[in-house]
Amino acid sequence: MYRSHTCGELRLAHVNNEVTLAGWVQKTRDKGFMVWVDLRDRYGITQLIFDEERTPAHIFEKAGELGREFVIQVTGKVIERESKNKNIPTGEVEILVSGLTILNSANLPPFTIEDETDGGEDIRMKYRYLDIRRTPVKNSLMFRHKVAMEVRNYLSEKEFIEVETPYLIKSTPEGARDFVVPSRMNEGEFYALPQSPQTFKQLLMVGGMDKYFQIVKCFRDEDLRADRQPEFTQIDCEMAFVEQEDILNVFEGLTRHLLQAIKGVEVDQFPRMTFDEAMRRYGNDKPDIRFGMEFGELNEVAQHKDFNVFNNAELVVGIAVPCGASYTRKEIDELINWVKRPQVGALGMVYVKYNEDGSYKSSVDKFYDAEDFEKWAEITGATPGDLICVLSGNKNKVRTQLSALRMELAERLGLRNSDEFAPLWVVDFPLLEWDEETGRYHAMHHPFTSPKPEDLNLLETNPGKVRANAYDLVLNGNEIGGGSIRIHDKELQSKMFSLLGFTKEQAQAQFGFLMNAFQYGAPPHGGLAFGFDRLVAILGGQETIRDFIAFPKNNAGRDVMIDAPSPIDDEQLEELHIKLDLK
């Protein structure tokens, strides 16, 4: 036994006990006749005291050799501290050390192992094993475990069965790019790593499993955007004999349970909003509804005056910025420049100060009068003291731009409070989206999503208008889950593949196993997948997802600590019958 107690365990009640602790030296203070050491393990920190008078001489001497992050084992008596530390649970006691073993020495760490560290991200990733010793990172990993346990226990109690689906599957060039894995046993052939267990969970429904879930790694061989990982974790769920309403209820229940169990937050029934409404009110299919600043469409009241910018625009839309009327000219110019940045892409911005005294001052005073602005204020919900920001142009573009501005302002105004949780369902997504580049329709969700029955007749005549039985779960401006009712009819599935530009042969080659399965009695079914990394990060307080992953990869897809990926040797290549062909 290396220890009788952990470093987070001892209290006043243990005074006079002989104990053995083991852990890392957090820091030492040497006053010559006395040495204090903070000993740290996963469970906490306990103060050790080496006293020239009371500690055996050879032990006292060794105490002087201890450096940061040395691994030691000590025995001693628990005594009451003279100056108590109220900040830590063990702060009322210390250990008067009588025995010391150095279990391992340590080089000076390349950054300080403290809550606030001096190490930049690169160095912390390279020495991730040291980073994990820091309380915030350690707590993030423990938090992730706790969320996973809550998910599993909740779903298990609701009769969901966790079924492991395979990682070595068949490559299907649908959606993002697959990672492929050459097979030695079957030469010239490749497995793929799953982008999601989508088809397998559907097969489980055909197999009568009824309620399935899995917390599972998925893989996408894509150029990484910031805070995306080539391997990511999903809570994958599927149910049979359900309609959309059943699924929303079950997973609203799960989400509510998590908020309650993990954060102690009680949330009312989640609002539901159609995709169209979300776009109209927030310019965004994953609106953050913790705050207002809803869009006001101004076409009717701002067009047909002499301002041609608006007259020629498909959409004129504004938001009211709380207390923005007090912004200086310089501040407003900065906002205008912000929306004109290439990442946002607006051509300009019209503003109206709705002053506290009820007067208006705007950049378009030439074209509009107070009566006009009164209508603008009414539509955007502005009250005296607010600033109305207005963008115009192509409907889709301008919504995206104004949504970006809305989020930016909310961030600046401190309206995105990470302790507040505002979930909602966005429903009735379009089934298809037109892709200019390829000149064909793509599945907005995936090709297994079922159209709304009432829109089925539009499939031939106006596919772009067909709405899907698809839904996203949005939390604080993030899509944390998404899913759909699936097609369970072979004919409809064939039609979908053909709409998406697959020939019959292609569809059969790639998804034949699923369509074959549909011939043998497929039940109505649907499901949802949560982005577990994102969910954990939001529940944990909006940190980047990387903080909640033990060994993350950087934006180039590299694990800098273990140097992966890396070249493999010629022998391995030869065994795989592979030649590299680098240009």
Our CB check for a copy of itself shows the closer of 111 and 367 to be 111
Rounded CA-CA distance 581/570 in Å is 13
Query: Does the annotation list 486 as a binding residue?
Result: yes
How far apart are the C-alpha atoms of 114 and 26, rounded to whole Å? 9
Residues counted in the chain: 583
416 is an annotated ligand-binding site residue: no
Tokens of 506: 């292609």
E strands, 109-210, are 161-162, 180-182, 190-192
Task: List the interface residues with a copy of itself, window 78-137 (CB under 8 A).
Answer: 103-107, 109, 127-133
Mask 142-181, x = binds a copy of itself (CB under 8 A)?
Answer: x-xx--xx--xx--x----xxxxxxxxxxx-x---xxxxx
Instruction: Look at residue 89 and give its three-state secondary structure.
Output: coil
Smallest gap from residue 227 Cβ to a copy of itself (A): 16
With binding defined as CB under 8 A, does residue 42 bind a copy of itself? yes
Binding mask 313-342 for a copy of itself (x = CB under 8 A): ------------------------------
Q: Does 544 bind a copy of itself (CB under 8 A)?
A: no
Q: Specify the pairing of strand 272-274 against strand 423-427.
A: parallel
Stretch that binds a copy of itself, among 11-19, 76-84, 187-195, 377-385 (CB under 8 A): 187-195
| Nearest-approach distance from CB 30 to a copy of itself, in angstroms | 19
CB 50 within 8 A of CB 94: no
- Contact mark string toward a copy of itself, 278..317, x via CB under 8 A: ----------------------------------------
The answer to whether the CB of 42 falls within 8 A of the CB of 22 is no
SS (HEC) of 47-65: EEEEECCCCCHHHHHHHCC
Helix (H, G, I), strand (E, B) or coil at 267: coil
Q: Per rule CB under 8 A, is residue 12 in the interface with a copy of itself?
A: no
Region from 340-348, 411-419, 477-485, 553-561 binding a copy of itself, contact rule CB under 8 A: 553-561
* Nearer to a copy of itself among residue 8 and residue 463 (C-beta): 8
CB of 117 closer than 8 Å to CB of 134: yes
Distance of CA 120 to the CA centre of its chain: 22
Q: Is the peptide bond before 565 cis (omega within 30 degrees of 0)?
A: yes
Tell whether residue 445 is among the known ligand binding residues.
yes
**Do the Cβ atoms of 166 and 204 come closer than 8 Å?**
no
Of 212, 234, 232, 207, residue with least CA distance to 222: 232
Least CB distance to a copy of itself at residue 425 (A) = 18
Stretch of 20-28, 307-315, 444-452, 499-507 contacting a copy of itself, by CB under 8 A: 20-28
Question: Rounded to a whole number, what is the distance in angstroms from the first to the last CA of the chain?
Answer: 58
On whether the CB atoms of residues 188 and 578 are closer than 8 A, the answer is no
- Out of 183, 312, 326, 359, name the contact with a copy of itself by CB under 8 A: 183
Residue 175 vs 524, nearer CB to a copy of itself:
524
SS3 397: helix
Annotated binding residue 174: yes
Which of 60, 70, 295, 497 lies at the binding interface for a copy of itself (CB under 8 A)?
Answer: 70
Q: Are 296 and 317 in contact (CB under 8 A)?
A: yes
CB 31 to a copy of itself: min, Å: 24
**Per-residue binding letters, 192-231, with a copy of itself (x by CB under 8 A):** xx-----xx--xx-xxxxxx-----x-x-x-xx-----xx
Q: How far is the CB of 345 from a copy of itself (least distance, A)?
A: 27
Binding site per annotation, positions for L-aspartate: 174, 220, 445, 486
